[in-house]
Amino acid sequence: MIEGMPRILDGNRVRDEIKAELRPRIGALRAKSRAPGLAVVLVGNNPASEIYVRNKVKTCEDLGIRSESIAPPHLITTDELLAIVARLNADPATDGILVQLPLPAQVDAKRILLAIAPEKDVDGFHPYNVGRLVAGLQGPRACTPAGIIELLKRNQVAIAGKRAVVVGRSDIVGKPVALLLLHEHATVTICHSKTPDLPAVCREADILVAAIGRAAMITAEYIRPGAVVVDVGTNYITERDRVARIFRGTAQKLAAFDRKGSVLVGDADPIDVAERAEAYSPVPGGVGPLTIAMLMMNTVAAAERALGVC
């Protein structure tokens, strides 16, 4: 156990800082021409996606960004969805297009994402923009990885020269955050399910990014005392005995479970990370708030480029 209390990497505070910085930029765009425009396409009725999209629209309203929500039926075809994307690509008032994933099985998600104009790809998933990330060129970055870098920098966590270990190799988080850390001059290791002796590799990290998608998997044996741990996990636990085990019988968490029927847990064990880390991002309230904040930043930057304000 490290001496003293660990620092909390507060994503809500950083989100509010970013929003405050965006307001004058949005005001300048409105004064010159028009508000930035973001179109969000949500296919079907996925409850988790609906909540996420509502939060995006609410943040747009708060900042003065024009938002358009498009909700095609669950049985939409690939060609029909491609037609929606083509219309948005051609709309000069739409600066950003976000197609909420996952898409229904009958829709070819790769074709949809490839169809989005790269300059309007505010999710940062288009291969063109991934290529610009690899090359270290400017362009929209995937929102959660970009938020992780903001969280570290705005909490004065040194990255250059540090050993960073990323647990998870997804295209959405693991790979892009590894590249962003590399561009910040960290020495980066990407781990996954086939990595031999994963705990030993993780213990080498000065900065440990947990993005594996398994509740409380990163326990004490994975964490070097004094490391910085960034927890990207969003896992809902629906078994009371598992909540009791993960939170060591904490009355507050058990009461929350009894009220809601579930508890949100990250990929890092919440008790072990608090005991061993020098600083860590909590779940909730760490990385999560920054994903939407970075989406807003990407949308504003796209509007600035489109209107010649940057």
Catalytic residues: 56, 100, 123
Structure tokens, 70: 């498009």
Structure tokens, 45: 């009725």
Rounded to whole angstroms, how far apart are CA atoms 274 and 193? 25
How many CA atoms are closer than 13 Å to the CA of 238, on its beta-carbon side? Answer: 0
Residues in a beta bridge with 41 = 70, 99
Closest CA to 73 of 40, 104, 101, 100: 104
Rounded to whole angstroms, how far apart are CA atoms 199 and 201? 5
Rounded to whole angstroms, how far apart are CA atoms 56 and 35? 16
Closest CA to 238 of 224, 257, 210, 254: 257
Closest CA to 281 of 290, 162, 215, 143: 290
Residue type, 99: V
